[in-house]
Amino acid sequence: MPAGTLYRGREGMWSWVAHRVTGVLIFFFLFAHVLDTALVRVSPNAYNSVIATYKTWPVNLMEYGLTAAILFHALNGLRVIAVDFWAKGPKYQRQMLWTVVTLWVLLMAGAFYPILRVTLRTWFG
Amino acid sequence: MAIDASSIELVDAGGPTDPSAFLIEPPRTRTKRTGRKSRTNFEMLAWLFMRLSGVVLVFLVLGHLIIQLLLDGGVSKISFAFVAGRWASPFWQFWDLLMLWLAMLHGANGMRTVINDYAERETTRFWLKVLLVTATVFTVLLGTLVIFTFDPTIS
C-alpha cells in the first residue's frame, strides 16, 4: 500500500504550486482589465461607471489580493531565474524562497494602508 | 535517533521483483511518432522568453501598480481624465503597450504549460489551446487598438 501520492517536495514544490496558482489568477484578471480599459473608446461615462466598482470595498479587497498575487509571482519569478542562471542558485533555493516570503510580507504590510484606503474609510470612517 | 538493525523486520510487501518495473524512461525520449528532427527549438525559446519577459515585467507591472494603486489617493483618483492625462505622453503609451504584449504572451505561454500538464486527452488539449490563442489574440489586438486610437475628446 503506497503511502499516498502527494509529493512532499517541501519549499520547492509549494513555491511551484503558488507560482502556478498566482500566474493563472493574474492571467484571468488581465483579460478583465484590458476589457474594462477598452471602455475608454466607448465613452468617458462608460469607463468611469465601471471604474466606480473598483472603488467599492469588496473590489478594493480584491485589489489587495491581486497585488499579493503579483508581488509573490514577481519575487518568486526572480528566484526561479536565479535558480536557473546562477551557479549557486539550486543550492540556495530554499534560503531564497524564505527571502521572497519575508520581502513579500514586508511589502504587503507597507501597501496595506495605501491600497486599502477605500475599504478602511468605508469600514471605520 | 539510533536504529537497532536487529529490530528491523524485512517483509515482502508484494512489490514487483522484476527490476525493469522500476525503470523510468527518460523524459522526451524519441519514439517512432516523434518527428525525425525538429526545425526549431521552440520549447527552449519559450523557456528563455519567460525569463526575459519576466524580468522586464517586474519593472513594468510594479511601476504600474505603484502609480495606479498606491500614489495620489490610490484607486480613487482613476478616471477617464486620469487615463487621458497619462496617454497624452508617448512614454506611458509605450509603457502600457509593452506591458500589454509581454504580459499577454507571458501569461498565454504559462497557460499553455498548465493545459499541457493537466488536460490528458489530446482533443481536450487541442481545443483548450485554440480557445487560449483566440482569447489572447483578441485581447492583445483590442488593447493595442485602444492605446493607438485613444481619443481624449470623445464624448
* Chain-chain contact of A115 with B70 (C-beta, under 8 angstroms): yes
Q: How big is the A-B interface in CB pairs under 8 Å?
A: 103
| Other beta carbons within 10 Å of A68 | 17
* Chain-chain contact of B80 with A77 (C-beta, under 8 angstroms): no
**A50 domain residue, yes or no:** yes
Q: CB of A34 within 8 Å of any CB in chain B?
A: yes
Total count of domains within chain A: 1
A47-63 tens-digit pLDDT: 999 999 999 999 999 99
* Chain-chain contact of A34 with B70 (C-beta, under 8 angstroms): no
In this predicted structure, the answer to whether residue B57 has a pLDDT above a threshold of 80 is yes
For B13, nearest residue in chain A (alpha carbons): A1
Compare CB distances from B70 to A37, A60, A111 and report the shortest one's residue. A111
Total count of domains within chain B: 1
* Chain-chain contact of B143 with A34 (C-beta, under 8 angstroms): yes
Residue A90 sits in a domain whose CATH number is 1.20.1300.10
**A2 domain residue, yes or no:** no
**A7 domain residue, yes or no:** no
In this predicted structure, the answer to whether residue B107 has a pLDDT above a threshold of 80 is yes
Its domain, for residue B64, covers: 42-149
**B20 domain residue, yes or no:** no
* Chain-chain contact of B114 with A70 (C-beta, under 8 angstroms): no
Residue A102 has what pLDDT? 97
Cα-based torsion angle of the residue sequence B13, B18, B21, B24 in order, rounded to the nearest 10 degrees: 120
- pLDDT tier for residue A37 given thresholds of 50, 70 and 90: very high
Q: How far is CA A115 from CA A35, A94, A110, in A?
A: 22, 30, 9
B63-92 tens-digit pLDDT: 999 999 988 888 888 999 999 999 999 999
For B77, nearest residue in chain A (alpha carbons): A55
**Per-residue pLDDT averaged across A93-118, rounded?**
95
**A26 domain residue, yes or no:** yes
- pLDDT tier for residue B11 given thresholds of 50, 70 and 90: low
In this predicted structure, the answer to whether residue B1 has a pLDDT above a threshold of 60 is no
Its domain, for residue A45, covers: 12-124
Q: Quick one: cell of B47?
A: 523557456
ipTM, two decimals, is: 0.90
